[in-house]
Structure formats: C-alpha cells, structure tokens
Chains A and B, each alone.
Chain A
Amino acid sequence: MTTLVSKLRQSTAAAVLAVTAASFAGDAFAKDLTITVWAGGSNDSDVYRLDAIEMAADMLTREYAINGEELNITVEKKRDFADWAAFKQAVTLAAEAGDAPNIVVTSHLDIAPWSQAGLIVPVEDYVDMDAWPLNNIYENLIEITSYNGVVYGLPQDAESRPFFFWKDTMKKLGYSDAEIDALPAKVESGEYTLANVLEDAKKAVDMELVEEGYGFYPRVSNGPDYAQFYQSFGGEMLDKETGKLLLDKQAMTDFYQFFVDAVEAKVTRKNHIGTEWDQWYAEVASGKAAMWHGGTWHYARYTGKEGLDDFFGNIQFTLIPAGNENGRANTITHPLAYLLTAQDNEDDVEIAAQLIKIASEPRINTLHAIKSAHLGIAKEQSNIELYANDRWAAEATERLLGQANAQPNHTGYGQFSQIMFKGLETAWTGTRTPAEAVAEVEAEMKATLGDEVIVR
C-alpha cells in the first residue's frame, strides 16, 4: 500500500513538473502579438494596403518557425474613416493617448509633423535598407518618405495626377485621332497649355457638346491637385536652398486667375467646390465633362464602379498642361507610406518594421498597384507579369511618373496648402479678386508661418 501511495506521489510530482516545464518552455518560445494597422483614404479597391500586412505576417511567422521561434501575429485592420481629416485626427489623438496603431498607412506629408511630435519612429532604425526588397524601391520614392535625411517610412504606393480629355468631345471639336494621340507629347513640350484648355472648353460649351460648367471639371475638394496648377504657372512650393516654403505671388495670382477665367467663360461652375464626389465620378466617367483632372487611381473607379468599358477608347490622359511661359507641364505624386508609430515595447516596433518590409515585396505590392490602379514602388515590378501586362500601369508609369514631383515634407506645409486652397476658393467663388485673394494669402502665410515661408 505504502509503495503504491509513494509511487502515485512520485508520478504525480513528475507529471506536475513536466507540465510546468512544458508550459514554461512554451512561454519562452511562443510570442503572441497583435499588430494594428490603420489606413487612411482607402476604399474597397485599396484593401491590399491592409491585407499585405496580413500576408507579411504569415511569411514572418514561417521565418520565425524555421528559427525555432513560435510567433503568432494577429493583424487588426481598420480603414473605415470618414475622410483624411478624420483619419489623421484619429491617429494623432490615439497616439497622444498612448494608444497608437502599430502601423499607419498615410500621406508622406504627415512625416514632418508626426516625426517632430515623436509619434513615429524612423523605419531605417529597424530594417536593412540595403537588403531585398527595400533596395529595389525607387530612390526618389524613398526620398519622399524621408525627412531631415532620415528614412521614416516605406513607400506604399505611387500615383500621379493626370489631366483627362474625353476623346469624343475632342473629336467633335475638330481634333483628329492622330492629333489626340499627339496631345500628351504636345502638353509635355508646352505646346498645348492651359490657355488652350480654356479655349477648347469654351468651344465645347458654345457648341453645346457639354453643358455650361462642364467644359473643364476640376477636383471638388482640397488636395495636392491644386498645387499642380500653381506649378503650371511657375510656382514652387519649397526653396531648395534654404528648405523653406515658398510663396510665389505672381504664380499664385496667375493660378487663381485661371480658375476665375474658367468661371467667367462658363466652362467651370462657380459653385463647383463642394460637389459630391459620387456625382463627380459618374459625370466624368460618362463624358459629361470635356476635360478634367484626377488621379491615376481613378482608372479603377471609372472602369469599375462607374462601368466605363473602354477607357483607352474614350479618354486621353496627359500631364497637367503648363499655364504660361513661367511654368511647366507637371504632375504631383502623392505616395502613401507605411509608418511605424512609437510604442512602449520596442520589440513590437521591430516586428511591425519587418512586416512592412515584407509587405513591400514587389509581388505583394503589385496586387495593390493593379487592384487599385496605383503605380508600383519597385523596379522589379515591371518584371512581374501582372504589372507588366496591365496597360494602365505601364502607360501611366511611362507617361507621368518620370515628370512627377512631390509636395515638400515640411511641418508648415499643411497650413501652406490649406491657406493656398482657401485663397483659391475665395477667388473662384468671386468673394475676392485674385489679387485680393493673394494679398490675404500672403498676410495669413506670413502671420502663421513666419520665418518658414519666403514670399517672392
């Protein structure tokens, strides 16, 4: 009996020991982690901004498993923000409350203020920029996601903002097929300018090819697009030498005047700003407007939700034409970037860094690029069939990306852009003349940006 009891005791003790040891060993190797990713400005076709992180998590888990470590990553995804402003508000306030998502997908413009505030950490502190796939990303895109010479984010996509023509209307205006095909080159060389845009748009309205206000049908809200027209008239946003923002009064006045002229010629509506986006998309994708401007990602919307079957047969796209001899044909690229937020636990930041690194794999990024009609971030993408065989990606990359520049990473740029747009709106709606509007812009920029803006 005693032997039995003692045996029982021994075996129980052994079992307990074994279980404890096993569970401790398990603790040592298994790491459970939740990585939150928030993406701004993303609709259904942009799901790979978030899904790429999930795919990367799967890959990273496998890499860890090979090294004998168990890593379980749960990716929490969120992209249902009302608009960009709501997204940025959510991220900054969550971060101030110590509750920031691990990864954010946002405009490169946020890098300047967010890095100063310490909300984000440099990605170059965690990943090897010389290793695959980061060494394959276009240098100029990496530059756009850097600030003060430090790489803060990884480019998530690239895009650019072209000028569009509805071919049928152009033909009725007297352009031959060959002339329409030659438009991109004519725009690039400065032969076809915004003055021609006004002229053709007015003709289209006068000939009743389009309704009043639909000759030139611009973007309906503030965005990087309007800085393009400032550049068309010779404006520059940043003084390269001093690193300060630049207000070119002449260019700004000419740029405002162009929109005022468009309204006076009845080719653009006076009350255009504030038109609903859904209405706008439906109208431009159905040929209700003669000319307009948008983004490369519009391709997905026109051919998808709006049901435009033959994009290339109906629409011609070019750079934004030059405004006058001071300016140039141009387009702005506004890449989104994967940014890492500062976290209490540095290990989490490192895992997040590895995830965005893997998500930048050309094959994974191509899924996003093609699904959402954005442009690729890495050179090798042109060797991936899905990308190379997509006519839009190939042509848009070739025609636009080479000429594209980005808005400056500068803590004051948000205000600069806001004030510039406010000035445009007051001139456009006739509340102020262009000259008065620019005077107000100058006063407000000087007051709010102080030394950080140069007025020329």
Chain B
Amino acid sequence: MRRAHLLGLGFLSPALAIILMLFLIPVLLTVMFSFTNMSTATGISGGAYEINAASLRKLSDAGAQESFVETLGKEAFVVDDAGITAAAAAYGEQFANEVGSQMLGERFDSRRDLERAFRKLKSRPRSTRDIKKAADLFKRSVLNVRFETAGGLLDAVTGNGIEMTPDQQELLTKTIYTGWTWTSDNFALMAQIPYVWRVAGNTLMYVVLTLAASVGLGLFLAITTFYLPSGTATTFRAIWFFPRILPNVIFVLMWKWLAWDTGFLSSLLGNFGVPPRNWMLDTGANAWVFIVLINGIVGASLGMILFGSAIKSIPQSMLHASEVDGASRWQQIRYIILPQLRWPIMFICAYSTLSLLTSFEYILLSTDGGPGGATEVWSLMAFHTALDNYAGNLQYGLGAAMALMLVIVGILASLVYLRIFNFNDLVAKPRIEQ
C-alpha cells in the first residue's frame, strides 16, 4: 500500500472508530440481544443453576415426573459421619465430638433448625457466619444452592443419592438454568401482542404527520424569510432556531407550562369560561397535536436552514427575468423555487424519516406515550420494555428485538430513498468535465 493510502486511512480512522463504536457495535449487540430472552431476572453476564420453588414449578410444567420434582425439592440436613469429619477439620475436634455425641443421626428440615441446635453446644463456633457454614457441612439436599456449572449441579444431585436418567438430567439443567438462552420467540411475541400493532400504527402516523409539519413549516419559513429584508430575515431565522438549540427538557417544559391545567392556555381560556384542563393529555387527538407541533417546530429549523441556503443558490437572474415577465410571487415560488428545491426536500424527508423513527425523547418528556398509550411510538415502546418498568423486571431481549425492527425498517427506508433519490445521478461527475 502506498504511503498516501496509509495517510488517508489515518485521517479516516477517527471516523471509522466512531462508526464502529457508535453504530456497528450497538447494532451488533442489538441483534445479539434480540435473539435472547434476556431480562433483569436472567442477568446479562450469564446464569447459574438453582433448584428452588420457582424453578421446580417450571420443571413440573416442562413435564418432569412429580416424584422426581418432589425428591429434588426436599430440604434436608442430616448429622452423619461425613459431616462430622468435615466439621472436625473446619471447626475443631471438640465441636465435632460434641455434635457427634449429641446429635448423630438427627435430621433437620431447615438450616435454621440445625443452627438452633448448634447454638446449644458449648464448643460451637462463636460467629454467626461460622455456625451457618458449619450447618452447611451437613446439608444433604440441593435446594436453594446456586451452582455455577451444570456439572456441579448434577454431581451434587447424584451425590445426594438421587438417580437421574440422561433425559432427566437434560431436562433439569435446561429448565432450572437462571441465565438467558438463545431464542427467536421475541419476534413471534411481538406479532401476538395487540398493543404492538397499535404502536406500529402510531409510529406511522407520527412520522408522516411530523414530517409533513416540519417540511411544510421549514419550507414556509425558508421562502418567507427569503423575501424579507436580510436583517429582519436573519432575526426571524434566529428565533426559529431557538427550539433546536434549547435543551430538550426546557423546551418541553415550556410546552407543558403552556398546556397544563394550571398553565397558560387554561388561564387564558378561563377568562372565557372554558374550564381548565390539561390540554396536552386531554384526549389522544390533543396529545397528537402537541407531539406533532413540538417535534415539527424542532424539525422545521433544520429544513429552514437547508431550504434557505438552497434558495439562495438559485441564480438571481432567473428571478429577475421572471419579474420582467410579470410573474407574481406565487408564480415565482411555484415555477422557480420549488422545482429547484426538489433535492433538498427529498433529502430532508429521507433524513427526517430515519431520525423520527428512532427519536422519542420529546414524546417521553411530554406525554410519555399517554394518554392511554395513544402517543406511544415504536422507539418509546422499545425503551419502556427494555429499560423502564415500575416493578423492576426489565425485558432486554424483547426490547432489543423491538429496536432491531427499527434498524431493519430504517435500512429498508434508506434503500428506498437512495433509489428514489437516484443517488448515482447525484454523485455523478458534472458533464462539463467529461
């Protein structure tokens, strides 16, 4: 490779690193997560094997014989010779002898009972933790013990004299594993939940309406400011740019102040006898109006800048000529400006579709998907599923599968847009240089 190529790569490397870190790795992780049943309960970093009331229930649901389940679920502490020998090694002969002479052959249903018995002995260990550890030396069951490996569990089960067929072993280790497993169920699950379909509809509505609002408003602003004297135009543009540079939280808070039932709108309309209400969350339609306005106004500023500069690049001579021909302002817009804005409009549409599909911060801050899920969009649903649950069990796997759908839709949409854009034409060399 030539040095110049290396140098080029060197210059590109920060960008490549960013793409890798902020796009490829997250997408790959999302793909990975979405094919798992990962949740708070399964953990991310792996699981263990534990027989307890909950996992035994699963075992019987999975078709294990009742007698097998029952044997596994028995808690037992038995004072036997093996235990006494172990106790002697860990806590001294004296303690072991005392246990042996007073308790040999006794059986306890829980560790707590055995601990209580130990506490009556004079030579017992004098720390709570040691008593518990001493008691564990006599444990002859696998109930509520966490094993890191399947082998460890199976050894312990057979060590306690429970015989298992290979089928039973497989069923046991498969069912009581606490960690996540690979699965493609998440996608079938999504199709089965009616709510998901409604959210899909919401998302489509959100993208279409917001896109229309932001492109329409952006165009309107770009064209109107074009015809204003430059000083006034700059001031207007700066004002319309505020929403974009304002922190999201503050921007939305101002909307909330406007819409709360103790807010500006209610106070104002109160003068006309309209009872106060939360205008933003009053009905689904209200919420949509606010969502579209909030997002549309933020989106409009980008359109305004892009369309504005595109209009400026239209040769002035064309506009002058049209004026000589007696064209009205509307005719200028209709026949000169709009046709030449085709590419910027398409670009903004494409770009905004993709960003709207994945953006939910303004909705989260304003309606949080309410009222009654009316404004819940796909990315917000993915967030709620994967990272936001009042009672705590977060569904990472299902949430990731939802996010993956967005990635897929996004990629498909980009391909469609590239086709419509006729990207090759856009990047074709100017004919004049051929």
Residues of A with Cβ closer than 8 Å to B? 84-85, 88-89, 92, 96, 106-107, 109-110, 112-114, 116-119, 122, 124-131, 147-150, 211-212, 222-223, 242-244, 269-271, 273-276, 279, 350, 407, 410-415, 417-418, 421-422, 425-432, 439-440, 443-444, 446-448, 451
Contacts and interface: CB of A to CB of B under 8 A. Distances in A.
B227 interface: no
A84 B144 contact: no
Contact of A425 (B40, B57, B116, B372): B372
B100 interface: no
A211 B394 CA distance: 39
A425 B146 contact: no
B30 interface: no
Contacts of B41: 112-114, 116-117, 411
6 contacts: A117-B178, A126-B132, A128-B115, A130-B116, A273-B372, A447-B189
A157 to B, nearest CB: 18
Contact of B195 (A125, A429, A440): A440
B57 A130 contact: no
B373 A425 contact: yes
B40, B189, B284, B394: most-surrounded residue (chain A CB, <10 A): B40
Interface in B359-416: 367-368, 370-374, 387-395, 398
Contacts of A124: 112
B248 interface: no
A411 B42 CA distance: 10
Given A109-B391, A130-B119, 5 more contacts: A89-B394, A148-B54, A279-B260, A415-B389, A446-B192
Contacts of B273: none
A88 B372 contact: no
Contacts of B178: 116-118
A440 B194 CA distance: 6
B192 A271 contact: no
Interface string B115-143: 11001000000001101100000000000
A425 B40 CA distance: 25
A296 to B, nearest CB: 19
A418 B189 CA distance: 16
B57 A243 contact: yes
A171 B97 CA distance: 75
B374 A150 contact: no
A114, A116, A124, A147: most-surrounded residue (chain B CB, <10 A): A116
Contact of A428 (B144, B282, B372, B387): B372
B194 A444 contact: yes
A279 B387 CA distance: 27
Interface of B: 39-45, 47-48, 50, 52-54, 57-58, 61, 112, 115-116, 119, 128-129, 131-132, 144, 146, 178, 189, 192-195, 260-262, 275, 277-278, 281-284, 367-368, 370-374, 387-395, 398
A422 to B, nearest CB: 6
Contact of A113 (B39, B61, B132): B39
Contact of B48 (A89, A118, A422): A118
Contacts of B374: 429, 431
Contacts of A426: 372-373
A131 B387 CA distance: 39
B112 A129 contact: yes
Contact of A84 (B45, B53, B390, B394): B390
A22 to B, nearest CB: 28
A274 B281 contact: yes
A448 B192 CA distance: 9
A117 B43 contact: yes
Contacts of B146: 118
Contacts of A443: 192-194
Contacts of A444: 193-195
Contacts of A407: 391
A375 to B, nearest CB: 21
B113 to A, nearest CB: 10
Given A211-B275, A417-B390, A430 B52 contact: no
Contacts of A89: 387-388, 394
Contacts of A439: 194
Given A273-B371, A425-B371, A119 B43 contact: yes
Nearest to A417: B391
Nearest to A421: B390
A411 B47 CA distance: 15
A413 to B, nearest CB: 6
Contacts of B283: 270-271, 429-430
Given A242-B57, A244-B57, A271-B371, A113 B194 contact: no
Nearest to B395: A415
B418 to A, nearest CB: 36
A117 B42 contact: yes
Contacts of B116: 130
Contact of B370 (A113, A129, A418, A425): A425
B371 to A, nearest CB: 4
A350 to B, nearest CB: 6
Nearest to A282: B262
Given A113-B393, A273-B371, A443-B192, A431 B57 contact: no
Given A89-B394, A425-B371, A443-B193, A130 B112 contact: yes
B371 A243 contact: no
